Structure 1
Amino acid sequence: MWGLFFLCALVILLLLYVPGFFLVRSFSHDSLMSLAISPIFSISLYVIAGVLLGLLGIFAEWWMIALPIAVLTIGCFGISHFPRRKEASIYRNSKTGNDWLALALYVVVGVVIVGLFFVRDLNGPDSFAQLYDNASHLNTIRYMVENGNYSILYTSLYSVEEISSGIAPTVSSGSFYPAGWHVVTALGSAISGASAPIAENASLFVFMGIVFPASMALLMLKTFSDRLIVLLGSFITLSFSAFPWGFLTFGPLYSNLAAYAVTPLAVCSVASVFSVDQSKAGRLRWGIAFLAACFAFFALQPNAVFTVIVLAAPLCAANLMGSLSLAGVSKRRSGLICASVVLILALAWIVAWRLPFFEGIVTYPWPPFEGRLQALIGALDLSLRAYPSQLLLAGLVLIGAIWSLFKKKYRALTVSYAICIVMFVLCASSDGPLRSLLAGFWYNDAYRIAALVALSSIPLASMGMYVVFRAVVALGAKLKISKPIVCTVGCLVVLFGVCFIYRPSSMIGIGDDEPAFEVVDSKLIWLSAEDVRRYTVEESDFVNNALDLAKDDPGGIVNIPYDGSVFSYGSNGANVMFRSYMTAGASSEKPESVLVREHLDEISDNESVKNAAAALNAKYVLQLDAGGIGASSSSLDDGVADAETYNGITSINEDTPGFSLLASEGDMRFYKIDG
């Protein structure tokens, strides 16, 4: 199955980069810029196609989305470049070769790090984190492939037929959900033939190992004129436990991970609009890229728009000051203009915060969990929400921040970092309107705000590593050591620092406490381990056998989501009733569903229950924990107390009239509903 994993990863990589590259090249960006920013355009195109086909009510095969977009974008490139093939050289830059080298280094390092700390930790390419949110992720991917509905406006877990006269327990026909990442992943699954779990893992590998490093490479290239800082940044990009690693072990927050992976592209685009070295045409091109990024964020995770505001506002203000100064505007007037722009942005933020649309998000009840001083220390030492301190990395960030104070063009980076620190401290340690105003767009969730701290720290840590390297070189020159030896020593210092950040200390014999990446490694191994799964390998095999028994008389399967069967649709394709933990008791739940989950064991004596089961086309019952829901070591520790909600299902046994036992193994049962 590993071959299928890498095939799916290759497909997703091509989906993300090929259409976007040819479309962006049509705007006359150079090849490197076009390649780097292509994912935001590709994602936007797939989302638009999915929405249009959904509005037309067309069942979409993968080729109906991917092929027309490929033909359209390649055609645009051909048409736009055909008249000026001889002028292509004007878009070349003398630094292009070095820039390509930097981009390649980021991607190579990214693939290696993600391979070591994600792919290697998977217990097989089809293993998956059995955390609360992942049931929705996997089931949504499977639903898109099976039902050909790639529209983020009508995201659902059930087909129209299942809702109208089938096993769906809800009358909801779907609603808007930022499922852009799911669309790309589902297309990869459909094209390669990979299962939803394999496609999910392959997609995460691509977004973490390639898209995020490549995006950060572009931002670094546009920000720093010294290419050594850029090259050193390749080793820093994935070094923060808060992002992307924290999004794998909490939630999991895969959609947010995908959005943050392309956030550097948006920061780069909007900052370039105000850059002093841009022509009017260049500003227009970067403005289009920024708008495409905003649309992609709408489809991936809208809070990324506010993330860009936090990270990019200081950069844009600094660039605007520079542009106004170059245009001959006085310093005083330039300051007033920038202050006015910042004020307008702040007012727009407050207006958005007050909108009813965001009310449920900005008031989300994540409680504070530590005091203000502890939160500040956690932000500075990078322990943040859930990991040990990263003192070496924190030291590099501090060195970079201090160094930036002496480099006027880099001070804006420290301002962004300081804003993120304040946001994290307030989010972690307080409650009330101010916290909601600053952190509410991220659900008042310290995990997501911690990721902002990590993103803002990457350029600073890169500068810190640069300062250390230059200090070694300067010391060597002072001691009159030959330059090759000094550079070699400097490289060894950098290499040792990188190994110290990433490599578990127990493997190199340093320290007794677990460092951050050893904890990352342990958590990812634990999430994939067989002995902590709510939905075990044995249960998955049992479900496959049950599906074979039911293939001649297919129908809906009544289940209890908390015994692990919530994953059986996305993982095995089982036509189970409850594909989410949140359906039972919801306002959209069908009355027939309520009767079935509360009284199905009475079907032989209760005509209403019998009619309800028939209306749902329920023909089977699946129990994966017949002796009691939940394993004490399960990675999913939510909802076990809700077993009574499904009393009509849990009460069924071999002696219950109205049911015939088809399969039994350990505490697993598969029944056919008689009649």
Structure 2
Amino acid sequence: MNWFHAVPIALVTAAWLLAPGLATSYLVGLRGIAAWALAPVTSIALIAGTAVLAGMIGVDWSIWIVLVVCAVVTALVAAVALALRRRRIFTAGADPRPVTVAAFAGLLPAFVLGGITIVRSIRSPGALSETYDALFHYNALAYIEDSHQASSLTIATFGNADVSGVFYPAAWHDLASLIMMSTGAGIPVAANIVSAVAAVLLWPLSCLLLVRQLFGRNTGALAITGVLSIGFTAFPWDLLGFGVLWPNLLGMALAPAALALVFTITGWTKDDAIGRGRAWLALPVVLLATGLAHPNVVFSVAVLSLFPIAAAIGARGLRLHRAGSTWRGAGEFAAFLAVVGVLWYWAATTPAFALVRETYWPPFGTPANAFGEVALNATNKFEALWLLSAVVITGIVSATRFKVLWLIVAGHLASTFLYVVGAAIKRPDTRMFTGFWYNDPHRLAAMVPITAVPLAVGGIVFLAAKLAARSAENTAPPSGLRGRLRAVPDTYVAIGLVVLLLVLTSGLYPVDRERRVAIGYDQAKWDQLATEDTERFFARIKDEIPEDALVAGNPFNGSAMLWTLADRPVLFPHFRTEHSADQTTIAGHLIEVGTEPAVCAAVRAVGVDYLLVGNIRFRPHDPYWNYYRGLADPGAAPGFELVEADGGNKLYRITACGRAG
């Protein structure tokens, strides 16, 4: 399959992301940018929420259960909207058609440039991401396909009843599994398409809503947002290659829309397109969608929301002071600080996030270097985006004209602080600040473009206004036409500046975007999850293994990809997951099954039938290799029968224990 053949799958993905949410958006009166940008938030909440509900009530995960829930929710929203049609809870006017057309037209070059990045950095729709986390995501999709269970409450254990269940955000997996069921796409294809659509469609749409709420019906600002949104390599492109952090990518693509709701609720919007009533109703939907996509997105939005909320409470305190209620205003602000402090302390110390907080990534560079990386949009030691960064800095200066941008500047500085701590300081005591993002500089850097995009838009609009004003002064048109002529050029100048930026940067630094994505797909041979030899061997042995059989194998040698590529379940679907005592026995001692009764007992209890040995050495220096020492090639050891062999790839039937259940 090539990328041209994948276009219908991408369109189906876009339909799943937009259609369910658009229905509810229009029912509550949203139109244009607000309706389309909030639609994916609602759709993801419905899809991921349905997966959890289906798991709780014992219903199989399928297209039909999602459609039924969407229909029921849409009917309920229609009933409520009809009942409240005369209330003022749904107040906010639609944008003029030229404004909406300009905004959506500005998305087209973003789709083109983003699509080119995807095609040039991922060699084919079915290319494997040769990364550590990709194995989990691939086999989670295989598990959903086989078990028809997709709940965020159970997916982490792959249905293993012998270990305690833990929460794992499965919205990305739920969406990808729907694409597989809707189109017949294979697991790698669905994974790549869903992630690409999140980067190229969801992220620009989400940024567009934030800019719309900050700049109002500014045609120039809206026309250039889409293009500028795809220029920052820290997001979405870095998360498409590093990790690979697909669930985080999906969640962070919604973050600007979530932040737009906060600005709406706190009143820091211009020509509001949502309305406070709708924003309050949408807030729990956003929390559900981002929480089931990836919880650290909730923390990212929370950090950036502190500033508009604090400013709103501060402005109210000032009004109370002028009205003679100084102590009341001071008390409300003190209460806000106390609530924030308590919530932060709880989140920073609760055992629920202990494993996340304790994840360690070694620091690199100095704080000064890390600060410079953010200033130049060169996080994690990638190339500096000089001209785009200059535009962002201009946007910071433009806060003198667009006062609301001071709140965005404050958020930008907060993201900068978190990245500097995560990249260059990183001590045990700093985990209470960066632990919500696994102390990972890549996840922390992904926050920066949330504020950098509106700042870049502000910078371009600021420069455009200056140039247009100077041009109008020099040309001195007739007084009767002067007002109309001076109102038009700003938009054209802003578009012209972005075109110039595209030319001077060869398309907003495409090489850097492609490099960030391709790093996950172009690993050295010894770091591959599966080679062509592996895939051919899996195709040969698939029919040798019954569908109800369970295959043991060291995931570091490629055996775990059997589930993804040949639809045969494996005992160890990822490098590090929680295992039962019997699984631990098998991992360390299966090779002794012909001589140790305890190993045979574990094999029978778990139901293992085969041992698969691969010829890959993924992360050969990982200390966890030793955990799987019992899954080495048994050779002539008793208790095994060789079924197929091709070089270092071998499939053995376990004969020492009889037929496992």
Same fold judged by TM-score > 0.5?
A: yes
Quote the offset at 1:577 in angstroms.
1.9
Quote the offset at 1:570 in angstroms.
2.4
Asked whether the 8 Å contact 1:401–1:414 carries over to 2, the reply is yes
What's the secondary structure of 2:250's corresponding residue? helix
1:302-331 deviations in whole A, cap 9, x for unaligned? Answer: 121221122222233445566788899659
Quote the offset at 1:101 in angstroms.
1.9
1:158 and 1:86 mapped to 2: Cα distance?
A: 49
Counterpart of 1:62 in structure 2 is 63
1:584-631 deviations in whole A, cap 9, x for unaligned? Answer: xx5x4333x344333333334444434433433322222221xxx51x
1:301 and 1:314 mapped to 2: Cα distance?
A: 22
* Paired residue type of 1:565: S
1:259 and 1:475 mapped to 2: Cα distance?
A: 43
Q: 2:603 aligns with which of 601, 610, 613?
A: 613
TM-score of the superposition, structure 2-length normalised?
A: 0.87
**Structure 1 residue 134 corresponds to structure 2 residue 127:** no
Q: 1:303 aligns with which of 291, 296, 300?
A: 296
**Structure 1 residue 365 corresponds to structure 2 residue 360:** yes
Counterpart of 2:108 in structure 1 is 108
Counterpart of 1:633 in structure 2 is none
Asked whether the 8 Å contact 1:110–1:238 carries over to 2, the reply is yes
Counterpart of 1:462 in structure 2 is 457
Counterpart of 2:633 in structure 1 is 651
Quickly say closer, same or farther: Cα 1:638–1:319, change in 2 above 3 A: farther
Asked whether the 8 Å contact 2:48–2:171 carries over to 1, the reply is yes
Asked whether the 8 Å contact 1:26–1:80 carries over to 2, the reply is no
Quote the offset at 1:13 in angstroms.
2.0
Counterpart of 2:435 in structure 1 is 440
Counterpart of 1:13 in structure 2 is 14
What's the secondary structure of 1:368's corresponding residue? coil
Q: 2:511 aligns with which of 492, 503, 518?
A: 518
1:314 and 1:221 mapped to 2: Cα distance?
A: 19
Asked whether the 8 Å contact 1:242–1:451 carries over to 2, the reply is yes
2:76 and 2:53 mapped to 1: Cα distance?
A: 20
Q: 2:209 aligns with which of 207, 215, 218?
A: 218
Structure 1 unpaired stretches of 5+: 165-170, 505-515, 631-635
Quote the offset at 1:485 in angstroms.
11
**Structure 1 residue 286 corresponds to structure 2 residue 279:** yes
2:268 and 2:284 mapped to 1: Cα distance?
A: 20
1:545-589 deviations in whole A, cap 9, x for unaligned? Answer: 1112224x8522221100122233123312222101014xx5x43
Asked whether the 8 Å contact 1:274–1:323 carries over to 2, the reply is no
Quote the offset at 1:132 in angstroms.
0.7
Quickly say closer, same or farther: Cα 1:637–1:405, change in 2 above 3 A: farther
Quickly say closer, same or farther: Cα 1:342–1:103, change in 2 above 3 A: farther
Asked whether the 8 Å contact 1:215–1:261 carries over to 2, the reply is yes
What's the secondary structure of 1:364's corresponding residue? coil
Quote the offset at 1:526 in angstroms.
4.8
**Structure 1 residue 238 corresponds to structure 2 residue 220:** no
Asked whether the 8 Å contact 1:218–1:268 carries over to 2, the reply is yes
Which is worse superposed, 204-213 or 665-674? Answer: 665-674
What's the secondary structure of 2:449's corresponding residue? helix
1:31 and 1:290 mapped to 2: Cα distance?
A: 19
Quote the offset at 1:543 in angstroms.
0.7
2:586 and 2:302 mapped to 1: Cα distance?
A: 48
Counterpart of 2:573 in structure 1 is 579
Counterpart of 1:424 in structure 2 is 419
Quote the offset at 1:122 in angstroms.
1.9
**Structure 1 residue 191 corresponds to structure 2 residue 182:** yes
Quote the offset at 1:491 in angstroms.
4.7
Asked whether the 8 Å contact 2:55–2:149 carries over to 1, the reply is yes
What's the secondary structure of 1:12's corresponding residue? helix
Asked whether the 8 Å contact 2:177–2:190 carries over to 1, the reply is yes
> Which structure 2 residues correspond to residues 371-386 of structure 1 after superposition, within 5 A?
371-386=366-381
What's the secondary structure of 2:150's corresponding residue? coil
1:375-416 deviations in whole A, cap 9, x for unaligned? Answer: 221221121223111111111111110121343232212111
Quickly say closer, same or farther: Cα 1:348–1:523, change in 2 above 3 A: closer
1:620 and 1:433 mapped to 2: Cα distance?
A: 44
Quote the offset at 1:125 in angstroms.
1.1
Quickly say closer, same or farther: Cα 1:72–1:57, change in 2 above 3 A: closer
Q: 1:665 aligns with which of 641, 646, 651?
A: 646
Counterpart of 1:624 in structure 2 is 614
Counterpart of 1:507 in structure 2 is none
Asked whether the 8 Å contact 2:172–2:247 carries over to 1, the reply is yes
* Paired residue type of 1:467: F
> Which structure 2 residues correspond to residues 242-253 of structure 1 after superposition, within 5 A?
242-253=234-245
> Which structure 2 residues correspond to residues 87-236 of structure 1 after superposition, within 5 A?
93=93, 95-156=95-156, 158-159=158-159, 163=160, 171-172=162-163, 174-225=165-216, 226-236=218-228
Quote the offset at 1:637 in angstroms.
3.1
1:272 and 1:488 mapped to 2: Cα distance?
A: 28
What's the secondary structure of 2:651's corresponding residue? strand
Asked whether the 8 Å contact 1:397–1:461 carries over to 2, the reply is yes
2:137 and 2:264 mapped to 1: Cα distance?
A: 35
What's the secondary structure of 1:385's corresponding residue? helix
Quote the offset at 1:78 in angstroms.
4.9
Quickly say closer, same or farther: Cα 1:435–1:573, change in 2 above 3 A: same
1:12-66 deviations in whole A, cap 9, x for unaligned? Answer: 32222222222233333335423321222222222332222212223333312x2
1:487 and 1:222 mapped to 2: Cα distance?
A: 18
**Structure 1 residue 570 corresponds to structure 2 residue 574:** no
What's the secondary structure of 2:447's corresponding residue? helix
Quickly say closer, same or farther: Cα 1:21–1:493, change in 2 above 3 A: closer
1:65-119 deviations in whole A, cap 9, x for unaligned? Answer: x22123224434554567899999x978463313432442354233223211123
Counterpart of 1:53 in structure 2 is 54
Quickly say closer, same or farther: Cα 1:535–1:157, change in 2 above 3 A: farther
* Paired residue type of 2:460: M
**Structure 1 residue 43 corresponds to structure 2 residue 44:** yes
Quote the offset at 1:216 in angstroms.
0.9
Quickly say closer, same or farther: Cα 1:152–1:554, change in 2 above 3 A: closer
1:351 and 1:608 mapped to 2: Cα distance?
A: 44
> Which structure 2 residues correspond to residues 268-287 of structure 1 after superposition, within 5 A?
268-275=260-267, 282-287=275-280
Asked whether the 8 Å contact 1:276–1:326 carries over to 2, the reply is no
What's the secondary structure of 2:641's corresponding residue? strand
Quickly say closer, same or farther: Cα 1:146–1:94, change in 2 above 3 A: closer
Asked whether the 8 Å contact 2:132–2:244 carries over to 1, the reply is yes
Which is worse superposed, 606-615 or 556-565? Answer: 606-615
TM-score of the superposition, structure 1-length normalised?
A: 0.85
Q: What root-mean-square deviation, in Å, do the aligned CA atoms of Structure 1 and Structure 2 show?
A: 3.4
Asked whether the 8 Å contact 1:659–1:671 carries over to 2, the reply is yes
Quickly say closer, same or farther: Cα 1:145–1:651, change in 2 above 3 A: closer
Which is worse superposed, 333-342 or 264-273? Answer: 333-342
**What is the number of residues matched between the two proteins?**
638
Quote the offset at 1:289 in angstroms.
0.9
Counterpart of 2:482 in structure 1 is none
Asked whether the 8 Å contact 2:320–2:329 carries over to 1, the reply is no
* Paired residue type of 2:502: V
Quickly say closer, same or farther: Cα 1:522–1:608, change in 2 above 3 A: same
Quickly say closer, same or farther: Cα 1:276–1:133, change in 2 above 3 A: closer
Counterpart of 2:480 in structure 1 is none
1:572 and 1:403 mapped to 2: Cα distance?
A: 56
Quickly say closer, same or farther: Cα 1:244–1:527, change in 2 above 3 A: same
> Which structure 2 residues correspond to residues 257-276 of structure 1 after superposition, within 5 A?
257-275=249-267
* Paired residue type of 1:465: I
Quote the offset at 1:535 in angstroms.
0.8
Quickly say closer, same or farther: Cα 1:637–1:472, change in 2 above 3 A: farther
Asked whether the 8 Å contact 2:106–2:222 carries over to 1, the reply is no
Asked whether the 8 Å contact 1:139–1:579 carries over to 2, the reply is yes
